[in-house]
Amino acid sequence: MLEQIEGSQAVARAVRLSRPEVICAYPISPQTHIVEALSVAVKSGALEHCEFVNVESEFAALSVAIGASAAGARSYTATASQGLLYMIEAVYNAAGLGLPIVMTLANRAIGAPINIWNDHSDAMAVRDAGWIQLFAETNQDAADLHIYAFRLAEQLSVPVMVNMDGFILTHATERVDLPTQEQVDAFLPPYAPRTYLDPADPVSIGAMVGPEAFTEVRYLASLRQQEALSAIEQIDEEFSEVFGRRPCGFFSSYRMEDAEIVAVAMGSAVGTLKDAVDDMREQGVRVGALGLRTFRPFPADAIRSALSGSRRVLVFERAHSPGFGGQLSADIAATMRSAEPTVHSVVSGLGGRPVTRLSVASAIQAASKGELGLETFLDLDESLLKHEVTELGTARRSSATGGTLAQIIESSGPQGAR
């Protein structure tokens, strides 16, 4: 049923329809609306057979979910930013234990400086934790992906993190087609845990594993992520059968036919990219867009084949690893394993900075003319930096290399070598 609804409310509804048995959360913007709505659903009785636990920290939130999941309950939590970092030990642990928890990450920058607005720094901080990480492009996506995530997590016994851009999606009201309970029930069977804490069949979960088997444990985790790629393809089929709506697969492709330049992003920016692509196509630039939904496991083969005909790939990434560069562009460059296409990192939308159609188009424009650097901070406000960079430049001058503001911004350190 189509509804005009806030993203958080849509997600809360989708989670509710997924019949979770334990929900726990600690307040952090911009995830709060989701769990507020869920707490009302539980307390009012609208969501039956579910416990809502108001915990004292995110570390406890995910720990409660770990306990609940290990006891065989479908478990859900939501967090963002600092909260994710506060629970990061448990994030790794949940994956290591193979517990199919579903968590919403309302993507938000990480401080300091404290910043409540959107970027993907939080998601990148846990990209190696062993979770499946899915990114929603729209609120329809966000709602669908939660139902999808429970199915995927439980099929594989791997936790799934559904990323949705903080505020941009969570607080945006748009039209969402919310499924019926019957549809969800048809798609998502009751949770049948692989292993759980059962007095009738006791096991010890969470052993200490030394050098003799740790590598093998990690190898199996890697295999499981690979298995997830085929599972995603299979579940996509079933999803479209039940809901009459085909998910985008590993990624969405937009005007990719004959594209020489491909703009890549995850999350809500994908829509902007599509608009910019339309603009540039009108100007005769052969450009397309690729919106990555499945970040972990990384669908390397599919990406390689999608990008293999292009000459330049512009990765609009909302996170940055200081001293290295963008994580997503690095993954894509590593996936391509060849000189073509050239992978450009366009660091954009950090800490809530809007990623505008105009800026995206101008970056595509620069790329089409061969004028785009390997790493660019989109819409960098040099006026703000003048004083600071002068200071930095002074410091640099005293060092061996030195350089001007422009040089620093253009060359951007070690990435220049790529």
Partner 1 sequence: MPFQPIKFYQTGSFVVGNRLLSEDQRSVQSSQARTNSLTLGHRACQGCGEALGARYALDAAMRATDNQMVVANATGCLEVFTTPFPETSWQIPWIHSLFGNSAAVGTGIAAALRSKGRQDIRVVAQAGDGGTVDIGFGPLSGMFERNDDVLFICYDNEAYMNTGVQRSGATPPAARTATTDAVGPHPGEDFGKGKNLPLIAMAHEIPYVATATVAELRDLEYKVEKAMSFHGARYIHVLVPCPLGWGSAPSDTIRLSRMAKETGLFPVFEAEGGEVTSVSNIRHQLPVEEYLRPQRRYQHLFRPQPDTETIGRIQAIADKNISRFGLLNGEPK
Partner 2 sequence: MERPFAITLEVGSSRHNKTGTWRVERPVYVDRLPPCNDACPAGENIQGWLYHAESGDYESAWRKLMEDNPLPAVMGRVCYHPCQTACNRGKLDEEVGINSVEHFLGDIALDKGWMPETAATDTGRTALIIGAGPSGLSAAYHLRRLGHTVTIYEAGANPGGMMRYGIPKYRLPREVLDAEIRRIEAMGVEIVLNHKVDDLAAVLAEKRFDAVFLAIGAEIGKRAYVPAGESARILDAVSFLHSMEGQAPPLLGRRVAIYGGGNTAMDAARTAKRLGATDAVVVYRRTRDRMPAHDVEVEEAVEEGVEMRWLSTVKHADAGKLLLEKMTLDEKGMPTPTGEFEELEADSLILALGQEVDLELLRNVDGVVATDGVVQVDRNMMTGVPGLFAGGDMVPGERTVTVGVGHGKLAARNIDAWLRGTSFSKGGRPELADFDLLNTWYYSDAPQTVRAKLDVARRRSTFDEVVQGLDESNALFEARRCLSCGNCFECDNCYGVCPDNSVIKLGPGLRYEFDYDYCKGCGICAQECPCGAIKMVPESI
Which residues form the interface with partner 1 (CB under 8 A)? 21-22, 24, 49-51, 53-57, 59-60, 63-73, 75, 89-90, 93, 97, 197-199, 202-210, 212-213
Taking the C-alpha atoms of residue 63 and residue 99, their distance in angstroms, rounded to an integer, is 11
Task: Work out how close the CB of 196 gets to partner 2 at its nearest, in angstroms, rounded to a whole number.
Answer: 7
Phi, psi (rounded to 5 degrees) for 204: -105, 120
Q: How far is the CB of 296 from partner 1 (least distance, A)?
A: 22
Candidates 111-119, 166-174, 200-208, 273-281: pick the segment binding partner 2 (CB under 8 A).
Answer: 200-208
DSSP string across 321-367: BTTTB-HHHHHHHHHH-SSSSEEEEEE--GGG----HHHHHHHHHHH
Q: What is the distance between the alpha carbons of residues 95 and 158, in angstroms, rounded to a whole number?
A: 6
Q: Give me 209's structure tokens.
A: 């594993």
In terms of C-beta density within 10 A (0-12 exposed, 13-18 middle, 19 or more buried), how is residue 249 classed? middle
CA-based angle 333:334:336, to the nearest 5?
65
**Member of 73, 97, 273, 285 binding partner 2 (CB under 8 A):** 97
Bridge partner list, 54? 25
Largest CA distance in the chain: 71
Is the separation of the CB atoms in 165 and 268 below 8 Å? yes
The reply on whether position 4 binds partner 2 by CB under 8 A is no
Calpha distance 329→378 (Å, rounded): 14
C-alpha angle 124-128-130 in degrees, rounded to nearest 5: 120
Told to check if 92 binds partner 2 by CB under 8 A, we report: no
DSSP 190: P
- The reply on whether position 216 binds partner 2 by CB under 8 A is yes
The entry of partner 1, partner 2, none near residue 98 (CB within 5 to 8 angstroms by kind) is: partner 2
Least distance (Å) between residue 111 CB and partner 1: 21
CA pair distance 274, 267, nearest whole angstrom = 12
Q: Which is nearer to partner 1, 60 or 158 (CB)?
A: 60
Does 350 contact partner 2 by CB under 8 A?
A: no
When CB distances are held under 5 to 8 angstroms depending on the partner's kind, the choice from partner 2, partner 1, none that residue 90 binds is partner 1
Residue selected from 96, 351, 354, 393 as contacting partner 2 according to rule CB under 8 A: 96
Q: How far apart are CA 312 and CA 284, in angstroms?
A: 16
**At closest approach, how far in Å is the CB of 61 from partner 2?**
22
What secondary structure does DSSP assign to 274-285, as a single string?
Answer: HHHHHHHHHTT-
Q: Which one of partner 1, partner 2, none interacts with residue 60, CB within 5 to 8 A by kind?
A: partner 1
- Asked if 35 and 170 touch (Cβ cutoff 8 Å), the reply is no
Nearer to partner 1, 190 or 323 (CB): 190
Q: Which two tokens stand for residue 409?
A: 């911004």
Residues in binding contact with partner 2, number by CB under 8 A: 21
Smallest distance, Å, CB 216 to partner 2? Answer: 7
User: Minimum distance between the CB of residue 99 and partner 2, rounded to whole angstroms?
Assistant: 10
Task: Determine if 217 is a binding residue for partner 2 (CB under 8 A).
Answer: yes
Residue 64 binds which of partner 2, partner 1, none (CB < 5-8 A, kind-dependent)? partner 1
User: ∠ CA 17-18-24 to the nearest 5 degrees?
Assistant: 105
Give the residue among 83, 23, 34, 27 at the shortest CA–CA distance from 59: 83
List the one residue from 43, 175, 194, 397 that touches partner 2 (CB under 8 A).
Answer: 194
Shortest distance (Å) from residue 92 CB to partner 2? 13
Q: Which is nearer to partner 1, 97 or 307 (CB)?
A: 97
One-letter amino acid of 63: S
101 binds partner 2 (CB under 8 A): no
Residue number, 89 or 301, with CB nearest to partner 1: 89
Question: From the list 209, 358, 380, 395, which residue makes contact with partner 2 (rule: CB under 8 A)?
Answer: 209
Burial of residue 333 (number of CB atoms within 10 Å: 0-12, 13-18, 19+): buried
Residue from the set 30, 83, 98, 349 that interacts with partner 2 by CB under 8 A: 98
Of residues 84 and 178, the one with the C-beta less far from partner 1: 84
Q: How far is the CB of 165 from partner 2 (least distance, A)?
A: 34
Question: Judged by CB, which is closer to partner 1: 71, or 405?
Answer: 71
> Which of the listed partners (partner 2, partner 1, none) does 282 bind, with a CB threshold of 5 to 8 Å by partner kind?
none
Contact at 8 Å (CB) between 235 and 155? yes
Interface with partner 2 includes 207 (CB under 8 A)? yes
What residues make contact with partner 2 under the rule CB under 8 A?
A: 96-98, 157, 194-196, 198, 201-207, 209, 213-214, 216-217, 220
